Amino acid sequence: MKETIIRKRGKAGKTFYRLKALFFLFLLTVITTGTVFPQELTITGTVTEETGAALPGASVAVKGTTIGTLTGGDGSYSIRASRNSVLVFSFVGMEPLEVPVANQSTINVTLRTQMVGLDELVVIGYGTQSRKTITTAITQVGSEKIEEVPLPNVTRALQGKISGVRILQTTGQPGKEASVVIRGGSSISKSSDPLYLVDGFPREINDINPRDIASIEVLKDAAATSIYGARASNGVILITTKSGEKGTSNIDFTVTTGFQEFGRKIETITAEEYLLLYRPAIENASSANKNYLTGPTATGINTDISTWTTRFLAEGEEVPEGWHTTVDPVTGNTLVFQDNDLQEQLFQRAMQVNYYLSASGGTDKITYFTGVGYTKQEGVAVGTQYDRWTVRNNIKYAVNDKISLTSNYDHSFSRTNQFENEANLFTRGAFNAKTIRDYFPDGTPGWGNNATLANPLWVNYTRINDRTFQRSTIGLSGDWEIIPNLHFRPSGNYYTEHYTRDYFEKLHNFNTQRPGEAERDQSQRWQYEMLLTYDLKKIGKHDLSVLAGYSNLYIEDQDVSAEAYGAPTDNIPTLNVSPVPTSAFSSFSEERLISYFGRLLYNYDDKYLLTASIRNDGSSRFGAENKFALFPSFSAGWIVSGEPFMSGVDNLISFLKVRATYGQTGNNDIGRYASQGTYAATFPYGGSAGIRATAMPNLALRWEKTTQYDVGFDLHLFPKENIEMSFDYYYKRSDDLLFSKQLPRETGFNSVEMNIGSVAYNGFEFLVSTKNIRTKNFSWITDFNIAYNTNKVLELPDREGIDKNRVNGIIFPDGTGVGGIAEGEKLNSIIGWQVAFLIDNDEQASAALYDERAAGYDPITKKATKGKKFPGDFEWVENWEDGKISDLDQFVLGYEVPHTTGGMTNTFAFKGIQLNIFTDFAIGHSICDMARAWLNGVGARQVQPTTDVLDAWKEPGDAARTMQPKILFHDPSAQQNHTRNNSYYTYRADFICIREVTLGYDIPERITSRVGLKRVKTYVAGNNLHYFTKYPGFSPEVGGEIRHNGGKYPTFRTVVFGLNIGL
């Protein structure tokens, strides 16, 4: 029964056809890139490591062709190549070696361990640079760190791996990306999302297949980001997709399958405990409605058609099978009821599968990469799901030796089934009292208390809520080497995003009209860029490269939506059969960004490094006088280890670079037309269109500007042990903050967009990587990173009579205050009442401070004495000392954002077996869990309290053992023990998470080669395996909201099995 109810609309048939079509496309690409074999001789030899050990699995390729082989278990190889060709030997972690054949038939080589990848190219804005000469704070994450993460999302795969970058999984809805905050962000109230550029083009991070990615570069300091000017204050994430390599040809197939499960449950009391605690509480609460005892309620007496099950056992009746029974403490009769934990029923073990097939390779003329992927991820909450198809095709071809062209195409299609109002369901609905009915005889689940406190299973049964996204990028770029080293690179990119959302409610008891909604949105972006680069390679000891560029980005969004109701049947969820339209909506908006930029990279003798860049950005979002702004940056580096005086210590220090940077960036995250003020035409009255002023104009609005300084060093110690470390200290200051400044209520507007004030962020980042053990068969590598970030408000607009110019928060009569935003204080404080102690007896109660919020209703005398406290209530601490507890008496209870974050990876390799254990942590933040408080406090709403209430105060003396306030049915006394933000419900949210564990095995090549395969790898990978934290909610990773998990879908644990085949 249950199975049929919760199954979502099957899309299996469609999936199959899509896969088939994609596979056909893929084959076409493979076939069209055929290979040619030249005349040749046979060369044999052995590849060894520095230690002399044979190196199995090393790649031997003929340069400029697709011919290649791998060494066997003894490091030997055999290959056919022409007499004048060049062989390329390579192995992961080793420096590649090129050896001309020159008629030799035996070539033995020794590969050296790569010196910490200093020659590795790192993607910087509009170009690449060697790691050695980079002067800015850029972290690179290679594909190997992303690929085996068992999640289909790019950002989730980065969690904890980049120092100074906080990645928060605030929702467990399948397919949703995590939120990324680099170095604490830069703004007080505007978005802290970084700018995502995929192959140089700004697009949504969603629905990118992580396996298509070659590398991710995170640009953290302003010297690195200011080449992106106006949008770069929150850092930039550059994603480079894979491309083919000349002289290779690879086919790669990966399949993973596994499951996800609900991570952390909130422990609630049983149905029996609920009835035993709350029925007497209702009986004793004089002002409460006795309907809760006798009526069809969770605690009352129900019939077969009630959503609740509690009732008295009829005379001579057997207890129904599967039902529970207890003696009613109020009447002494026997109660029977079901005990249905909706958390258990809602959260399932969900499966995910992932297929990925790619081909890459190339010749002198053309390189190609094609990848197709399909992912299906069921949600841990019943009825939620994510399906995604992706295809990507990157082709680069040389027209002649001067001109080459690159074309990129990618397309993704995703479909998400999700709940419409997650906060309602996951903080409220899932906690409907356990006496709820599981299923009615007609197969529908119990529906829950009311429309806004509904059983999620019933919501899933009665609602259809599907979203799809189609995203495509088409890019074409050219490279013309006009004279040697002078390149002209024009490019054009087009991106389109189609979004659909369909919502339908079946006929149900709370609404019989079958309302439906349909939404179709389209977003398009065009970007044209022209780059002129001149690389003056090595004239003497000078190395100079300059860049000049122009960029034009245009975005337009068109949205259409409609709502209607009155469909005659549940079977047609579209609006065509709903005769009563209730809303029709369409809109259009656009924006443009025009930029001119230039950069100079200079190094002298590979020791003294200098970079300077400038960008002039113009945005249509700002007022006429303030459209353009200039963003400069400078950075310098000194490779100390390159100096002669260091040569004596090169056994200790193999590399040392110190660097310092300065740069400015901007943030334009205001509404597209916010500077112009808005009149909205969405206020109809009496059947006529009505128009109202909804935003106050501010034509003086301009960029938010962030200035950032960074000093750091990169240090490599003990060349043999390869200890690498890197340290950065930064200070950034944002001025002219874009801020929705609260206006006096008398103006009729809530707030206005203004540039006000300054805030400073500073912190450090440290990372170290050590190769602890490296023997022939066994290696152990540890990577550790830690980052500290703090902030301080420097300046706010003058507010007469207000200390520290505090905005929001609580302001005392003398002008001082607490919370909100104030000069000299940290951002993101959580404020609330501080519990002094639990009032235990009448003496304490009568000595307690007058509490302005307390109505003071005494259930015994039936009199309300305003301000009065009773035993079992919290006594609060005074902050504003006026002899009473009021809204002024609040304190900073904690901060929402951790000050310290980091992660540690241990990688072990034994022969073909690799084990990767990754943990990350966050320290210094708190969660004020008012959702938990709500569950414990509102017996009246028919919800199941947490096990906290089992410890509740009952009688004098209990305060010695508990701090849990007494159980109240309703709160007629308005003591608000559970409904005001308070220290009792504020938890330290520090955590360590076992984020990833991956165990992999490479089947030896001697076995795989027998079946014609280059590589076969199997692995098992887990994600979000366990949190160590004192916080008792779903997840300690909360995006800043009060309430557990921010009312979002709880995060989950994932385990998958993977098989990767290369041929």
Q: Which three-class secondary structure string do you get for 587-606?
A: EEEEEEEEEEEEEEEEEECC
Nearest distance, CB of residue 293 and another protein, angstroms? 8
Phi and psi torsions of 184, nearest 5°: 80, 0
Which parts of 227-286 interact with another protein (CB under 8 A)? none
Q: In terms of CB distance, is 594 or 768 closer to another protein?
A: 594
Which parts of 413-432 interact with another protein (CB under 8 A)? 421
Which residues is 337 bridged to in the sheet?
A: 324
Kindly tell me which residue out of 167, 335, 430, 810 binds another protein, with binding defined by CB under 8 A: 810
Nearest distance, CB of residue 665 and another protein, angstroms? 19
CA nearest to 260, candidates 1022, 1054, 1057: 1054
CA-CA distance, 574 to 577, in Å (whole number)? 7
Which parts of 601-620 interact with another protein (CB under 8 A)? 618-620
Residue 627, token pair as written in the block: 């459209």
Which parts of 953-982 interact with another protein (CB under 8 A)? 970-972, 974
Which parts of 560-579 interact with another protein (CB under 8 A)? 563, 566
Which parts of 731-790 interact with another protein (CB under 8 A)? 742-749, 752, 754
Nearest distance, CB of residue 671 and another protein, angstroms? 10
Q: Give, for 767, the enclosing helix (H) or strand (E).
A: strand 758-774
CA-CA distance, 317 to 312, in Å (whole number)? 10
Which parts of 862-901 interact with another protein (CB under 8 A)? 864, 866, 886-887
CA-CA distance, 674 to 623, in Å (whole number)? 9
Kindly tell me which residue out of 683, 718, 837, 1028 binds another protein, with binding defined by CB under 8 A: 683
Stretch that binds another protein, among 269-277, 853-861, 875-883, 1000-1008 (CB under 8 A): 853-861
Stretch that binds another protein, among 180-188, 263-271, 676-684, 1003-1011 (CB under 8 A): 676-684
Kindly tell me which residue out of 296, 478, 719, 956 binds another protein, with binding defined by CB under 8 A: 296
Which parts of 1034-1053 interact with another protein (CB under 8 A)? none
Instruction: Give the ranges where 881-965 is alpha helix by DSSP (H).
Output: 930-937
Which parts of 19-78 interact with another protein (CB under 8 A)? none
Phi and psi torsions of 1026, nearest 5°: -160, 140
Nearest distance, CB of residue 301 and another protein, angstroms? 6
Residue 478, interface with another protein (CB under 8 A)? no
Tell me how many degrees the CA angle 884-889-895 measures, rounded to the nearest 5.
Answer: 165
Kindly tell me which residue out of 399, 680, 773, 1059 binds another protein, with binding defined by CB under 8 A: 680
Binding track over 517-546 against another protein, x by CB under 8 A = -----------x-x-x--------------
> Would you list the DSSP string of 778-804?
EEEEEEEEEEEEEEEEEE----TT-GG
Nearest distance, CB of residue 819 and another protein, angstroms? 11
Kindly tell me which residue out of 54, 544, 636, 855 binds another protein, with binding defined by CB under 8 A: 855
Check: CB of residue 260 under 8 Å from CB of residue 349: yes
CA nearest to 1063, candidates 66, 25, 21, 20: 66
Q: In terms of CB distance, is 133 or 460 closer to another protein?
A: 460
CA-CA distance, 172 to 382, in Å (whole number)? 12
Q: In terms of CB distance, is 99 or 403 closer to another protein?
A: 403
Residue 589, interface with another protein (CB under 8 A)? yes
For 718-756, where are the E strands, in sequence order? 723-735, 738-742, 751-755
For 190-341, where are the E strands, in sequence order? 195-198, 201-202, 213-219, 236-241, 249-262, 311-312, 324-327, 334-337
CA-CA distance, 204 to 202, in Å (whole number)? 7
Residue 799, interface with another protein (CB under 8 A)? yes
User: Look-up: residue for tokens 């104009």?
Assistant: 697
Q: In terms of CB distance, is 397 or 503 closer to another protein?
A: 503
Number of residues this chain uses to bind another protein (CB under 8 A): 112
Residue 877, token pair as written in the block: 């601490």
Stretch that binds another protein, among 167-175, 219-227, 292-300, 649-657 (CB under 8 A): 292-300
CA nearest to 306, candidates 429, 438, 460, 456: 438
Check: CB of residue 174 under 8 Å from CB of residue 379: yes
Phi and psi torsions of 559, nearest 5°: -120, 140
Binding track over 487-506 against another protein, x by CB under 8 A = -x-x--------------x-
Stretch that binds another protein, among 153-161, 301-309, 340-348, 1011-1019 (CB under 8 A): 301-309
Provide the residue type at 942 as one letter.
Answer: Q
Nearest distance, CB of residue 523 and another protein, angstroms? 14
Binding track over 630-669 against another protein, x by CB under 8 A = ----------------------------------------
Q: Give, for 109, the enclosing helix (H) or strand (E).
A: strand 109-110
CA-CA distance, 690 to 680, in Å (whole number)? 8
